[in-house]
């Protein structure tokens, strides 16, 4: 039924999939009880520095819930992130279901105005779940939060959150602490050449489609960073509705200063056959930069990782091999492309899939935090 490929791709890639339903409609997928005592839930927090018309600062989180193999511990879980921050005002859910936000939106009513960012346990079809930020879709997987909790449809889910959460324009009464200006919201994926896409088995049916990159692990929130202790727990329901809770380490935010703003990359050259070169200048404190090139026309993402704090020319290749094994030109004439530099003070690339299968990789920097800084986008037409 393609289950082995699903597990290999979905769990390692932070994209939880529903089990095979053998053609049945809305039936509960088969499950196997997990040894939760062998799994590890971890959390790191830090300051997120965003670039907009002016620099703003929020909260960065790096969460992982891994089994001993390094893959995601469960296909379904309900997270609860707590800390000394004050969440933005909540908004009641108006839909008949609450799968959670897929991007920068208001907090759910249950966690609005509190020191919590919550998910909701799954409920039977037609029942309104508790109105929370993550809803029933959001969980913690091998590298970060994602709206990827398994359901009964059997569909492959490769969606990642667009971020920052709680992103509002200047002067918004819903979130006066985050502005002025609207921070560009997007999902962050690691693609070739840094993260080679997995090749799907020939003749597989149905073959999953839509996978264009691995999670980069961080999820950011447009909330004023507050020093203190942060904790994460996940609830896991069994077939009888009983819930087991797993708790993370306590993550400490000792400083709310954060990293300096990351200067916007500058264009150097294009070769006319698909590749480009850009220049980056990492600010003080950055130990690693993830440079993402998004082809806004095709939807593909390329990533180059630069170690250290020295200025560097970053070359994106002419082509890459996609998940079905086809060599694809990175950029074609007329394509709109966008480059963002993401600086961190912790080993963000080294901790993530597909290369890292450790149950507890390092996710903090020398200051004990996971601080991150984003450049504004450099955008041009090829």
What is the model's pLDDT at position 238? 81
Confirm if 186 and 102 have CB atoms less than 8 A apart. no
Say what the pLDDT of residue 319 is: 96
Strands 107-108 and 116-118: unpaired
Handedness of CA 108, 250, 359, 48 (dihedral sign): positive
What does the pLDDT read at residue 211?
Answer: 77
Query: What pLDDT shows up at residue 108?
Result: 78
Q: What is the CB neighbour count within 10 angstroms for residue 243?
A: 12
pTM of structure: 0.86
**HEC-encoded secondary structure of the chain:** CCHHHHHHHHHHCCCCCCCCCCCCCCCCCCCCCCCHHHCEEEEEEEEEEEECCCEEEEEEEEEEEECCCCCECCCCCEEEEECCCCCCCEECCCCCCCCCCCCCCCEECCCCCCCEEEECCCCCCCCCCCCCCCECCCEEECCEEECCCCCCCCCCCCCCCCECECCCCCCCCCCCCCCCCCCCCECCEECCECCCCCCCCCCCCCCCCCCCCEECCEEEECCCCCCEEEEEEEEEECCCCCEEEEECCCEEECCCCCCCCCCCCEEEEECCCCCEEEEECCCCCCCEEEEEEEECCCCCEEEEEEECCCCEEEEECCEEECCCCCEEECCCCCCEEEEEEEEECCCCCCCCCCCCCCCCCCCCCCCCCCCEEECCCEEEEC
Mean pLDDT by 10 residues, the chain (382 residues): 33 33 38 75 96 82 96 93 88 69 67 91 83 91 93 76 73 44 77 86 53 91 94 89 92 97 96 97 98 94 97 97 86 96 98 92 98 94 96
The answer to whether 108 and 118 are in contact (CB under 8 A) is yes
pLDDT of residue 120: 92
How many whole angstroms separate alpha carbon 120 and alpha carbon 241? Answer: 14
User: Is 375 within 8 Å of 262 (Cβ atoms)?
Assistant: yes
CA–CA gap between residue 69 and residue 329 (Å, rounded): 35
Q: CA of 64: how far to CAs of 35, 111, 351, 353, 358, in Å?
A: 17, 22, 10, 11, 11
Domain count, the chain: 1
According to the model, what pLDDT value does residue 208 have? 56
Is residue 305 within 8 A of residue 349, CB to CB? The reply is yes
CA distance 87 to 216: 24
- Look at strands 139-141 and 144-146 and give their pairing: antiparallel
Q: Which domain holds residue 43?
A: 3-381
């Amino acid at each position: 039924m393609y289950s082995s490929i699903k597990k290999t791709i979905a769990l390692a890639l932070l994209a939880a999939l529903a089990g095979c339903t053998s053609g049945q409609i809305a039936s509960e997928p088969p499950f196997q009880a997990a040894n939760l005592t062998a799994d590890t839930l971890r959390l790191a927090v830090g300051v997120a520095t965003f670039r907009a018309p002016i620099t703003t600062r929020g909260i960065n989180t790096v969460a992982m819930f891994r089994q001993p193999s390094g893959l995601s511990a469960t296909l379904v879980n309900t997270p609860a992130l707590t800390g000394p921050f004050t969440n933005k005002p909540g908004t009641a859910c108006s839909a008949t279901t609450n799968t959670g936000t897929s991007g920068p939106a208001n907090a759910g009513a249950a966690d609005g105005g509190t020191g919590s960012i919550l998910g909701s346990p799954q409920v039977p079809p037609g029942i309104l779940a508790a109105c929370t930020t993550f809803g029933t879709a959001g969980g913690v997987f091998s590298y970060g939060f994602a709206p990827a909790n398994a359901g009964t449809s059997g569909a492959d889910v490769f969606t990642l959150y667009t971020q920052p959460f709680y992103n509002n324009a200047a002067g918004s009464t819903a979130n006066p602490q985050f502005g002025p200006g609207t921070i560009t919201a997007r999902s962050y994926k690691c693609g070739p050449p840094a993260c080679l896409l997995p090749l799907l088995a020939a003749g597989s049916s149905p073959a999953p489609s839509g996978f264009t990159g691995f999670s980069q692990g961080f999820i950011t929130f447009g909330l004023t960073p507050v020093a203190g202790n942060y904790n994460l727990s996940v609830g896991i329901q069994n077939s009888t509705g009983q819930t087991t809770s797993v708790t993370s380490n306590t993550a400490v935010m000792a400083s709310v200063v954060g990293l300096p703003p990351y200067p916007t990359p500058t264009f150097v050259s294009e070769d006319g056959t698909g590749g480009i070169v850009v220049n980056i200048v990492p600010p003080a404190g950055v130990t690693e930069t993830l440079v993402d090139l998004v082809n806004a026309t095709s939807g593909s993402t390329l990533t180059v990782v630069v170690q250290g704090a020295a200025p560097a020319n970053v070359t994106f290749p002419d082509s890459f091999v996609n998940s079905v094994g086809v060599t694809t030109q990175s950029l074609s004439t007329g394509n709109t492309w966008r480059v963002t530099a993401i600086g961190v003070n912790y080993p963000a690339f080294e901790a993530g899939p597909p290369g890292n299968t450790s149950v507890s990789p390092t996710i903090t920097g020398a200051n004990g935090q996971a601080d991150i800084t984003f450049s504004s986008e450099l955008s041009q037409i090829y």
